[in-house]
Amino acid sequence: MIIRIVELRCTPDSASRALELVNDIAPKVRQSMGCFHLEILVDIRKKGHISTFSKWESEDHLNAYRDSALFKNFWASIKPHFAEPAKAWSSSSAVYLP
């Protein structure tokens, strides 16, 4: 399983529109092949700071979504609202063995 975290820092003036775009695409992402979970997080103190936390069956499934028209259209529509470049990282869950 792949865990993907994406941090979007949008300008305060476009924070509401950016969140609207993320909320609009969320149901479609959740229906993407291999997506188990998608959660949208909004910073309680910093207007415009939005993060997503998603779980994917595999990196291939995540990359298929990232290569899709759905993602490319979304990214083109939200990118103008960024105050700085987005940050993203993928991890796999680990088991702690004492």
The closest alpha carbon to 5, from 70, 49, 68, belongs to: 49
pLDDT per position as a tens digit, 58-98: 999 999 999 999 999 999 999 999 999 999 999 987 766 66
Q: How many independent structural domains does the chain possess?
A: 1
**CATH number for 9:** 3.30.70.100
CB 57 within 8 A of CB 36: yes
What is this structure's pTM?
Answer: 0.88
In degrees and rounded to multiples of 5, residue 25 shows phi and psi of -85, -20
pLDDT per position as a tens digit, 25-62: 999 999 999 999 999 999 999 999 999 999 999 999 99
User: 82 in a domain, yes or no?
Assistant: yes
Range of the domain at 10: 2-91
Q: Which helix (H) or strand (E) holds 88?
A: strand 87-92
Residue 63 CA to residue 76 CA, distance in Å, equals: 17
